[in-house]
Amino acid sequence: MFNTLGQFALFGFLGWVLENAYSTYPGPRYSRWVPGKLPFYPAYAIGGLLVLKTAPHLAELSFPIRAATYAVGLSALELGACKLERSLGVKQWSYDGDSCVDVLHALAWGGLALLVEGVGGKS
């Protein structure tokens, strides 16, 4: 449907929409995002592409194994992005004061990946 660059842009924009919607939700939150000036979040763009490219290779695995694989893999992406930002002196988010990864968010990454996989990645 889209070429890779279009998918990258779409996932980055959808990430921005999700994060900004989440940041307006009242009550206690785990995320401490600082909304970006551009309507684009690179972690979602990269994560979405990784899911689309990985999904055909995971197609034979059971649903729970695929979900766990996505949750762990995308949390590793989030951890890497967080460590890179901090090495550059930037802190975009923190779940509990200093943590880069949170179990509930890892589960959300896994669920989001299964949604992306169902829309366009699994063959």
DSSP string, 25-36: S-S--S------
pLDDT digits (tens, 9 = 90+) for 85-117: 778 887 666 566 667 777 777 788 788 888 888
The three state secondary structure string of 52-89 is HHHHHHHCCCCHHHHHHHHHHHHHHHHHHHHHHHHHCC
Per-residue model confidence (pLDDT) at position 97: 63
Q: Summarize the confidence of residues 71-83 as an average pLDDT.
A: 84
Per-residue model confidence (pLDDT) at position 74: 84
Q: 23: domain range?
A: 4-121
Distance CA 113, CA 66 (A): 9
Threshold 0.85, pTM exceeds: no
Cβ(50)–Cβ(24) below 8 Å:
no
Per-residue model confidence (pLDDT) at position 65: 92
More confident residue, 86 or 72: 72
Distance CA 86, CA 79 (A): 11
Q: Summarize the confidence of residues 72-86 as an average pLDDT.
A: 83
For the chain, the domain total comes to 1
Residues 6+ apart with CB under 8 A from 8: 45, 46, 48, 49
pLDDT digits (tens, 9 = 90+) for 18-48: 877 776 766 555 444 555 567 788 888 888 8
Q: Give the 3-state secondary structure of residue 116.
A: helix
Residue 75 has pLDDT above 70, yes or no: yes
Distance CA 13, CA 46 (A): 12
Distance CA 111, CA 54 (A): 15
Per-residue model confidence (pLDDT) at position 30: 45
Residue (of 107, 51, 112, 44) closest to 78 by Cα position: 44
- In the structure, what pLDDT confidence band is assigned to residue 121 with cuts at 50, 70 and 90? very low
